[in-house]
Amino acid sequence: MLHTGMLMINEGISQAILVSGESGAGKTESTKLLMRYLAYMGGRLASEGRSVEQKVLESNPVLEAFGNAKTVRNNNSSRFGKFVELQFDERGRISGAAIRTYLLERSRVCQLSDPERNYHCFYMLCAAPPEDIKHLKLGNPRTFHYLNQTNCYELDGIDDAKEYTATRKAMDTVGISSEEQDSIFRVIAAILHLGNIEFTKGKEYDSSMPKDEKSWFHLRTAAELFMCDEKALEDSLCRRVIVTRDETITKELDPEAAVSSRDALAKVVYSRLFDWLVDKINNSIGQDPNSKYLIGVLDIYGFESFKTNSFEQFCINLTNEKLQQHFNQHVFKMEQEEYTREEINWSYIEFIDNQDVLDLIEKKPGGIIALLDEACMFPRSTHDTFAQKLYQTFKNHKRFSKPKLARSDFTICHYAGDVTYQTELFLEKNKDYVIAEHQALLSASKCSFASSLFPVSNEETSKQSKFSSIGSRFKQQLQALLETLSATEPHYIRCVKPNNLLKPHIFENQNVLQQLRCGGVLEAIRISCAGYPTKRPFYEFVDRFGVLAPEALDGSTDEVAVCKKLLEKVGLEGYQIGKTKVFLRAGQMAVLDTKRTEILGKSASIIQRKIRSYMARKSFILFRRSTILIQSVCRGELARHDYETKRREASCLRIQRDLRMYIARKVYKEKRASALSVQTGMRGMAARNELRFRRQTKAAILIQSHCRKFLAHSKYVKLKKATITTQSAWRGRVARKELRSLKMAARETGALQAAKNKLEKQVEELTWRLQLEKRMRTDLEEAKTQENTKLRTAVQELQLQLKEAKDTLVKEREAAKTAAETIPVIQEVPVVDHELTEKLNAENAELKDLVSSLKTKIIETEKKYEETYKLSEERLKQAMEAESMIVKLKTTMHSLEERIADMESENKIQWQSLLTNKGVPPQSPDLASKVLENGNHANESITLNDLLLTPEKGFETPDNKPRRPPIDRQHEDVDALMECVVKDVGFSQGKPVAAFTIYKCLLHWKSFEAERTSVFDRLVQMIGSAIEDQDSNDHMAYWLSNTSTLLFLLQKSMKPAGTAGTASVRKPQPTSLFGRMTMGFRSSPSTVNFGAASAALETVKQVEAKYPALLFNQQLIAYVEKMYGIIRDNLKKELGSLLALCIQAPRTSKGSVLRSGRSFGKESHTNHWQGIIDCLNTLLTTLKENFVPPVLVQKIFTQTFQYVNVQLFNSLLLRRECCTFSNGEYVKSGLAELELWCCQAKDEYAGSAWDELKHIRQAVGFLVIHQKYRISYDEIINDLCPVLSVQQLYRICTLYWDDNYNTRSVSSEVISSMRVLMTEDSNNAVSNSFLLDDNSSIPFSIDELSNSIEVKDFLDVKPAIDLLENPYFHFLHE
């Protein structure tokens, strides 16, 4: 290799290295070592880069992956020939390269013999990363027909996964992009799926179809990877189209022919892919048209002889015959012919010539290839007729013979031995054409890479190349290769395979000797030893070695004599002097080169010494001059820089002064304008505040007058009751008269109870009146809504009629104007149609009357609407006043109940002390009532013995100190609970701590079983005060989570009270605001779930709920629904302003953009939809952080999306500028963002919110359809817009206009159909309205809320930490 590079550089001759040998002898590895060495020797410096060399070296793994396979003799056999041209410049560096390939073995893609393998790339792809395998739908190689025909799937010492990664890295190096790599492996995967398509007989005669569902799956996968039509792929495999002069005939293929068509498609796709890779590598490396020299490296298949030898082995062995002939011509023929021309003394040596074998194969017109091409051109030719033709033509040829037991085989005596070929597939493999259906299929592929493999050719090109022969084309390639080799200086490398077992350390002598003999190595050694391997012309010899004897050159012009003197001085013997050249024996040239190198080395040392001295002096002078010049330039540059700096400073000061003046004036103007705006706003706000204050003052005075009246009456009642209580207490201290006093106090207590019952009756009567008033108000509002809807519909219809009348008037005016213009003028005398003018004037007057009457009706309608609105406001005000009165009465009633309870407890204590002091026997047990914890009174009686036996336990602490009465203790506990839970105590295990703590306390205090208690009222009052700030969604979400959780725990704990003792209790109507709200939402409280909760969990216990607990349950339901409505309405309020901006696409005028210098339109309008998304995300995050039940979150977003649908759809129907094509695209892009938000929020929170946008989605989808005039009415109502009514569709169709493409709306027939249907439905009040109504009802039930939460979720919930430290709440630790 070093000698080759030196010859190229020194003598300027292109070189060629021919690597030959049997299959498996190591030709490919030797070629890689050669290319690596040549790339290193001819590479650039590190600073210049080595891209060309790297690409040349990295092309080997790429071509090996797609062109090498395991054969019987070799695990990495090259199934193609390769000739690499390395191009060098005049300095001996690589400037370009080119790769040529020869005869890829296409049949290996579909047919294998054991134990061979297919091409390496198939197995690498099956070992690819899991994501690639999943994307390409691949699997184990044993599952693919093209790979499982043998039992060999893996190679020892080879990891296909690592090879796949290395191949992709090499493809990156040679310039194949990642997209192209993905496309390449898509095609490889498609070929594997093609092989798994099996065929069976079809319904028709001689037809075929995919066999089963597995075959259909692989067919669909192949079509998906090819990115072509599935039906077209099936037709290209199962059918053929024959085009005749008169007609086109479609021919069905039987299953066997379909399999052949499938294999043909796989082979041609793989062949085109391999050719594309070679072209891509060549284009990436690049060729140098100005290259000085080249070194070619030929790596081509070795001589092959198997049990079954087909067309590929025939072409491979032809290649080796041609290369052997070239070797013979160079080593034997040309050498001896040159000896003869130079007339030197030598003896002629005989050698084996293989020209007769080459004539047998490629001679025209009687060679085997010519006969094969002739047979391929006849449609009815078969391999049998081809074999018979060969037998007849070459029956007397000494190199051709017919085997005895074969009918269509033939044997050729090659230089390396006899090879028997089977002709069964010769004709098919020799035809080089693509089936028209396959060409059309892949040319129409949506994959640009696949379609580029099959470019569409014109008819003339296809007619001229209708028949193409692989054999003829391969013969032409070989001829071009030999011409290239003949233009270079060849060097031969013979690779020898030591054994056929492919194992190390085994050397078979006979096998190696046979390889050397067949390759002509022994013959070349014999001739080289007998001849003169080194020869040089006289002038070259004298020019190169004249330095050995300079005295021989002086005064002599005879080159022959000079050469003889040089050789005599050196002392060489055995050389020959010819006519024009000097012939040297082996090794003599090396002796001459050694002596020449010594003389040149000594001369070079002297020259280097002198030149170094000269260069140093010259460098010093140049450096001194350069230094002086640089100094002068630097000084001038510094002076100019200083001047420029001062000049720039002065300019900066001037600019800063002017800029500060401009900024100060601008700021002054802005502040002045802002001050004026603020002053205007503040004056208006002050005026409005003054008006509001006066109204509030007037209302406060009225409220105070009523309140003072109520307080005076209450004070009188309290004083009266206090007097009676004092008298009762005084009488209780008298010994025997206390019993009489207590009886009188009991009678007074009964009187209070009667007063309480009377108040309850009054409250019930007021509640009934309020409900009646509410129902009347609801009916009035419904009637008002219906009347408003009818009025709006009438106004819209009148507006439409007015618009149509105006359009008619305009059209008639234009017609009149046109008619007036078209009337001819004769002699400048105008002709006027007075009748037409009068008619138009009359119609115009009628239209004006109609317009005035419509305006009058509109004004009357608006007046009626205002009167109705004022009447409803007055009734609402009256209802609110009645409601406030009920609340006051209820507060008074509860204060009386507490007073009665206090009196009873004091009486009990006094009675106990009296009995203790006087020793009265327990004769009156009915006078004391049992007092439960926290003021909860029960009807159960206790005996006097129970009070007498434990006096110390009831009224003394463990420290023997007197403690407060139970009434005061219970109030302190309730106050502690309220003080704790009113703060934000957070969450535990995703559940609100406040709700869980309240529930545990109520359960411990047995408040659910109490007939009377004030705990529930305190809780209701606390929740009502906490949610007064309705603008904070975070605060509302926190209390919604707590209230809904507490409601769930109450639902799971309560069960209906038993019949014993409670049958006579009548459940009164709710009297509070929330009770009446609950009655408004539900007709009866029967929906409350009193089912028993899970008895296995001790977290939630079942109790018999009494009336206060049931009433508290109803109040909690009302609070949940109220907070839900507040959060929903807040979100709607935020979205309302954004929706008004999102309905119409942005339109920024050109003039405004030019004046402003920049446009904010697009950015601001795109932020509207993003603002909606931000609002939704903010609320969703808030609800998640407060652990609001998912069912409530779903309902909130479902109703919100319904509101968005109503607002957008109604705006679309009422504004003509919104019914445009561009606006439809704009709204559609915004809806796509909402859909993306629903997908990200998931069904757990979004629910069916996306389905609520069906009206606007279908309307926008109709707007963005092209060619609407081609759509029928049935297609619109059945496919495009099934949800929209006829009125809505008619409205959209009549308002639509295309601002981009000026396309038409639907056809006039569709409009006529809609008008007919609208006329038929005109009597239906519902169908006359085309606008949507927003639903503001509560869309969930308590059962849905209860089912969304489970009791087991509360097992690990911890109560409030503040109460755990309180000793009176020790039960929370349980």
Q: Which residues are catalytic?
A: 23-24, 28, 74, 77-78, 302, 304
Strand bridging mode 1103-1104 / 1054-1055:
parallel
Transcribe 743-759 into DSSP letters: HHHHHHHHHHHHHHHHH
Quick one: residue 872, left, alpha or beta (phi over 0 = left, psi -120 to 50 = alpha)?
alpha
**Amino acid residing at 260:** S
8 A C-beta contact, residue 1055 and residue 1102: yes
Transcribe 20-82 into DSSP letters: EESTTSSHHHHHHHHHHHHHHHT---TTT--HHHHHHHHHHHHHHHHHEE--SS-TTEESSEE
Q: How far apart are CA 415 and CA 520, in angstroms?
A: 9
Neighbours of 316 (CB within 10 A): 25
Two structure tokens written together for 1283 = 């949800």
8 A C-beta contact, residue 1091 and residue 995: no
Triad 447, 450, 456: Cα angle to 5°: 105
Q: Is 205 helix (H, G, I), strand (E, B) or coil?
A: coil
CA torsion sign, 1095 to 1096 to 1097 to 1098?
Answer: positive
CA torsion sign, 1120 to 1126 to 1131 to 1132?
Answer: positive
Q: How far apart are CA 842 and CA 588, in angstroms?
A: 128
Residues 6 or more apart whose CB falls under 8 angstroms from that of 576 comprise: 342, 344, 345, 346, 532, 582, 583
Q: Is 1323 helix (H, G, I), strand (E, B) or coil?
A: coil
**Amino acid residing at 1319:** T
Triad 315, 316, 317: Cα angle to 5°: 95
Residues 6 or more apart whose CB falls under 8 angstroms from that of 515 comprise: 21, 22, 25, 494, 496, 497
CA distances (Å), origin 239, targets 202, 231, 233, 252, 500: 12, 11, 10, 5, 46
CA distances (Å), origin 608, targets 438, 473, 596, 928: 71, 57, 18, 134
Q: How far apart are CA 559 and CA 537, in angstroms?
A: 10
Peptide bond into 365 cis (omega under 30): yes
H helices present in 1296-1341, as ranges: 1308-1320
Q: Which residues pair with 181 in a beta bridge?
A: none
If we measure between CA atoms, which residue out of 308, 282, 284 comes closest to residue 112? 308
Two structure tokens written together for 270 = 């793989």
Q: Is 209 helix (H, G, I), strand (E, B) or coil?
A: strand
* Consecutive H or E run containing 877: helix 834-918
Q: Which residues pair with 992 in a beta bridge?
A: 987
**Amino acid residing at 1131:** L
If we measure between CA atoms, which residue out of 940, 923, 922 comes closest to residue 931? 940
Residues 6 or more apart whose CB falls under 8 angstroms from that of 114 comprise: 149, 150, 151, 152
Transcribe 621-667 into DSSP letters: HHHHHHHHHHHHHHHHHHHHHHHHHHHHHHHHHHHHHHHHHHHHHHH
Q: How far apart are CA 304 and CA 320, in angstroms?
A: 9
Residues 6 or more apart whose CB falls under 8 angstroms from that of 1189 comprise: 1041, 1044, 1045, 1345, 1348, 1349
